[in-house]
Structure 1
């Protein structure tokens, strides 16, 4: 079978197309014939060397997310069968096998049934973005541990960067759970995408006072903020948040420092929650996977420009270009057709 692989970290040019044997699933594993691989910032950052502190010990296949069809089932697996359509999560985390290949063996729990009504594109767009968004939305001490219909009824959520992949998923999940969603964007085009995703109010942070406008929607302040750029937004976040509210930050660079007015945060009893989906607890991950699956089954996590998440496609052999597109900040979701 064909796979995109790299044996040293660096620029996207380290990615090469290779032939390798088809793997066999072991105890508790399934082999999935990958239809579509999803690319996230974490994928190019790992390839570039941001994840590994020492030289690689062999060949690695990039990309965490994907969707495809189960084609082999190992001993001890129940609930999954050959021919079943699935979406995949955290495939490359802690190992060397990602989804940028024709088939991949994963623990059965990482292959989640994909409804017949949903596309492989939707399945490959979940993973990192949707699971991150779920953790951010459930990080409040006053909120549910697992989202479901109505669990955020009466609450207001502010999503910064509403046209990004995580922002898009956060809007859709929060709306599905009953929240009123305010989203920030930087252009009219991105405003249109956030509206199509389901945000009730869209603010251009370049031209509008985000905190003041958010408080027009929620007079006492927003309950949860899902933040893509805490260092830049902390002042507006603290002005917009309600007393006892939660700011969930899910992105940042390795050398980024946040300066926060401590007294202002104390006065509001603000919770600041940092989110990295790879290192949440097993229960938090299980809750996220279950909630995302339920939202998907309800048709609440659609993709494509008409749903606020434009898709940019590449062939398997052009995975390096797909990584470059994400690194350059491509709007929407970058997919690799396997």
Structure 2
């Protein structure tokens, strides 16, 4: 099969190559998927660049997310069928065969049916972003009904799905963005109120439009903490999925608000937490409540450019089409 691989960490153009490798065979509890689309996330380029502790064992096919068709089932796999359309998540986690190849072998638990109503590009856009959003929202849609949610970075991939999942769950959704282009994306996703955080009165505007916020889905905790605490309702929660920097926390205001600060990383969720996020995402997908962001596509031969585009912060989603 044709596959993108890297054998050591480094710049995309230097270490990524597209080569022929033997197609993997599924073992017990595994599924082989003929990939159609491969979604690119920030975690993918960071892993290739060496910003994480894991190093390739011989070679690594990158990318966690994607959509395709079940090609073969390993022993003990139930609930999936050859020829079935699926989306996959965390394919490259502790696994050599990610989705940037003609075939990927993935643990069956990370392979999810893709409804006929959903495109392959949409399937490739789920995975890490949608599951992270579902977990940051608490994992239980019923708990959001009638509540107010603020999504920081509402035009990003996690923000996009946080808006859509929260709105479907019956929450009032506000979002912050940095530009008119991103405001249009957040509004299209379903945010009732969109505020540019570059405006000096952003917190006042959020309170005016949406009232006190019960839960914040936060992409930049240090930059936005003062705003979050100004709008947070007593007993509210700030859930952040991007906290690479050192955090200095104002203990007094956090205690005064009886606030809960939650850190979310998809890799280390419990199986129960992951199952809850997958279930919520799948239900929303089947109901037609999830959409893809604007998609920029690359062929497999240009996978290095695709990763560089994500690293540069391309608006929307970057997808490699097989």
TM-score scaled by structure 1?
Answer: 0.93
CA contact (8 A) 1:151 1:178 kept: no
Are the equivalent residues in 1 in contact too, given 2:172–2:210 (CA < 8 A)? no
CA distance, structure 2, for counterparts of residue 32 and residue 130 of structure 1: 20
1:74 & 1:120 partners in 2: Cα distance? 24
The aligned residue for residue 48 of structure 1 is 49
Q: Distance in 1 between matches of 2:250 and 2:78?
A: 52
Cα RMSD of the aligned pairs, angstroms, is 1.1
* 1:18 positional shift: 0.8
1:188 aligns with 2:177: no
Q: Tell me how far apart the structure 2 counterparts of residues 66 and 281 of structure 1 sit (CA, whole Å).
A: 22
C-alpha distance after superposition, 1:148-196 (max 9, x if no partner): xx54221110001010000001001101111111000111111000000
Distance in 2 of aligned mates of 1:243 and 1:195 = 27
Q: What secondary structure does 2:144 align onto? A: coil
> 1:222: Cα distance to partner?
0.2
Unaligned runs of 5+ in 1: 139-144, 304-308
Deviation at 1:25, TM superposition (A): 1.1
Is 1:146 the counterpart of 2:153? The answer is: no
How far apart, in 1, do the equivalents of 2:126 and 2:9 lie?
Answer: 26
C-alpha distance in structure 2 between counterparts of 1:96 and 1:46, whole Å:
13
Contact map agreement 1:154 1:180 (CA 8 A) in 2: yes
CA distance in 1: counterparts of 2:263 and 2:144, whole angstroms: 20
Q: Give structure 2 stretches of 5+ with no counterpart.
A: none
1:208 Cα offset (Å): 4.3
Indicate whether 1:29 and 2:30 are aligned.
yes
C-alpha distance in structure 1 between counterparts of 2:252 and 2:320, whole Å: 47
After TM superposition, the runs of 4+ consecutive aligned structure 1 residues lying more than 6 A away are none
Note the alpha carbon deviations across 1:286-306, whole angstroms, 9 max, x for none: 000111000000001111xxx
Report the counterpart of residue 247 of structure 2 in structure 1.
258
How many Å separate the matches in 2 of 1:218 and 1:196?
18
Equivalent position of 2:222 in the other structure: 231
After superposition, the C-alpha distances for 1:85-123 in whole angstroms (9 at most, x for unaligned) are 000011111222210000011111111000011111111
